[in-house]
Structures are given as structure tokens and as C-alpha cells.
């Protein structure tokens, strides 16, 4: 997360300390689970027409079914999601957040629902290693762990930050940046979707555990999500959805 965004989020949690999140009973009584996501992140959450689809979309819907409710998607900018949770705009955020100590100060995370990592993605003949990135322009999405990591890489020419994952990918395809740091599965999907660009995956820069976020302190909801997640992981639902999108089971080993 962007430094200032996180600072204001922590300040906000203090200022809005009295606002209460919907508890599990209220969610169940309403029959609806409000889920925040930034849907430009294929194959995790993206849009098809007006529908939010993808691996995490189907997983969130499977979790909601276990809780006996329906998901109502609330699309939002990635850098506003965790703040929105704190302002009670959503019950959950399902948007591929890496579980970091910094974010854990602001929100609570469910048990990780997949493991992945940040890779370098470039066009053919583009830079694929940290060494090759020296002096180059690297694109990232605002507020992501990839942006954080890229800013720490030594010797880069520049780090260009874009509001959405889709924008950053377009900049790579259009040659406005030499490389794009993003999730490994997102990179694989982009390579498949734009074969003419001849995209190549390079060095894996770091690994991360991805989790669903709830408002800090909403422990009954987090526990219910964990139980539902255990259920879909045990009954074959998780494996089926994961295989549909990735051809493999991407749960943390």
C-alpha cells in the first residue's frame, strides 16, 4: 500500500473507531454479503459485461453460499479498498491482497486462499531479471506489493505507477514501460490473452500469501469466512474453481 494511504488509513481507524461493521448475524439476516474488489485483475476478479467473474469471484460466491447469503459486488479502486472496509462500505474485501505486516495493522485477514508471487513481465527482448532492469522504466499498479517491491529495486530508471492493473498492462503492451511487475498468474493470463505481444515471464521477485480482508476486530465474521473456506477446500469446490482458471490447485502448500 502507498505510504500515505496507509498512514491515513491508520488515522481513520482511530477517528472512526466507533463506526461498527455489520456482524455475522446482521449479514445473515440481510441475506447479502457486500464484497469490495478491484475487478481489472484477470483471472482473479474482472468483469464480463456487468458481471464480476474470475477465480476469486467464484470463490467468494462459494464462501457466501456456505454462509447462506448472496454476494453483492462493490467494485472500487484498489487503493481505496481497505479504507472502504474501515468505513463499512463492504463486509469483505476479496481482491488478492498480499498479507503484509503493514496491512495487518489496519485490517484482519482470513486464512490465505492462495499463494503466489510477483514476477517481471516484459515483451520479447525486454528485461527479465533485476540485473537487466537497471536504468529501465518499470510499470506497477498503485498500492500493490509489486509497487512496493519495485520501488526498492536498485538502479531502476523509473517506477511508473498506474491506477489499475489493466492500465499498467496496456502501458507494457504499448511500449511505454520496459517491464511490468505483477502477479505470476496475472502475467500468465496476459501472455495467453495477448499472444501477438510475445510476453515473457522473468524473475520471481518475492512470494506472498493472499487473503480476504475483514474490518479490524470483526473476528466472528473472519472465523465464519475461515470455516466456509475450509469447507470449500475440503468438499472439492475450491479445486474445481482453481482448475477451471489455472489448470491446477493454487492453494498454499
Residues interacting with ligand LYS, by CB under 6 A?
Answer: 38, 41, 78, 95-98, 141, 144-145, 165, 183
Choice between 96 and 161, CB closer to ligand LYS: 96
Rounded to a whole number of angstroms, the minimum distance from the CB of residue 81 to ligand LYS is 9
Rounded to a whole number of angstroms, the minimum distance from the CB of residue 45 to ligand LYS is 8
Distance CA(230)–CA(221), nearest Å, equals 14
Rounded to a whole number of angstroms, the minimum distance from the CB of residue 20 to ligand LYS is 27
- What residues pair up with 201 in beta bridges, in sequence order? 121
Alpha helices in the chain (DSSP H): 3-15, 24-30, 55-67, 81-86, 101-104, 145-152, 165-173, 184-193, 219-234, 237-246
Choice between 95 and 178, CB closer to ligand LYS: 95
Alpha helices in 16-108 (DSSP H): 24-30, 55-67, 81-86, 101-104
Rg (CA), the chain: 18
Choice between 41 and 224, CB closer to ligand LYS: 41
Choice between 141 and 242, CB closer to ligand LYS: 141
Q: Tell me the three cell numbers of residue 80.
A: 481505496
Rounded to a whole number of angstroms, the minimum distance from the CB of residue 161 to ligand LYS is 12
Distance CA(210)–CA(117), nearest Å, equals 9
Q: 57 near 45, Cβ under 8 Å?
A: yes
Rounded to a whole number of angstroms, the minimum distance from the CB of residue 229 to ligand LYS is 18
Choice between 2 and 191, CB closer to ligand LYS: 2
Rounded to a whole number of angstroms, the minimum distance from the CB of residue 22 to ligand LYS is 24
Rounded to a whole number of angstroms, the minimum distance from the CB of residue 1 to ligand LYS is 7
Distance CA(93)–CA(108), nearest Å, equals 10
Choice between 144 and 161, CB closer to ligand LYS: 144
Q: Is the dihedral of CA 161, 14, 97, 64 positive or negative?
A: negative
Helix or strand or coil: residue 162? strand
User: Which residue in the block uniquely carries the three cell numbers 481507524?
Assistant: 13
Choice between 22 and 97, CB closer to ligand LYS: 97
Amino acid at each position: 500500500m502507498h505510504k500515505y494511504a496507509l498512514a491515513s488509513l491508520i488515522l481513520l481507524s482511530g477517528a472512526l473507531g466507533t463506526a461498527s461493521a455489520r456482524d455475522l448475524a446482521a449479514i445473515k439476516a440481510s441475506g447479502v454479503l457486500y464484497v469490495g474488489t478491484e475487478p481489472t485483475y484477470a483471472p482473479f476478479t474482472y468483469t464480463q459485461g456487468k458481471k464480476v467473474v474470475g477465480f476469486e469471484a467464484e470463490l467468494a460466491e462459494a464462501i457466501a453460499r456456505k454462509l447462506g447469503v448472496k454476494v453483492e459486488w462493490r467494485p472500487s479502486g484498489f487503493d481505496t479498498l481497505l479504507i472502504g472496509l474501515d468505513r463499512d462500505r463492504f463486509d469483505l474485501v476479496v481482491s488478492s491482497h498480499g498479507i503484509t505486516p503493514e496491512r495487518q495493522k489496519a485490517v484482519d485477514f482470513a486464512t490465505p486462499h492462495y499463494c503466489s508471487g510477483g514476477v517481471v513481465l516484459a515483451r520479447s527482448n525486454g528485461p527479465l531479471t533485476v540485473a537487466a532492469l537497471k536504468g529501465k522504466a518499470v510499470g506497477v499498479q498503485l498500492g500493490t506489493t509489486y509497487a512496493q517491491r519495485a520501488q526498492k529495486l536498485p538502479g531502476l530508471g523509473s517506477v511508473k505507477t498506474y491506477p489499475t492493473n489493466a492500465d499498467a498492462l496496456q502501458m507494457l503492451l504499448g511500449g511505454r514501460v520496459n517491464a511490468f511487475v505483477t502477479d505470476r498468474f496475472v502475467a500468465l493470463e496476459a501472455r495467453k490473452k495477448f499472444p501477438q505481444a510475445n510476453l515473457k515471464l522473468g524473475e520471481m521477485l518475492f512470494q506472498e500469501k493472499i487473503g480476504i480482508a475483514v474490518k479490524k476486530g470483526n473476528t466472528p465474521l473472519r472465523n465464519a469466512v475461515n470455516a466456509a473456506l475450509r469447507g470449500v477446500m475440503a468438499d472439492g469446490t475450491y479445486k474445481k474453481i482453481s482448475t477451471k482458471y489455472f489448470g491446477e490447485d493454487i492453494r498454499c502448500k
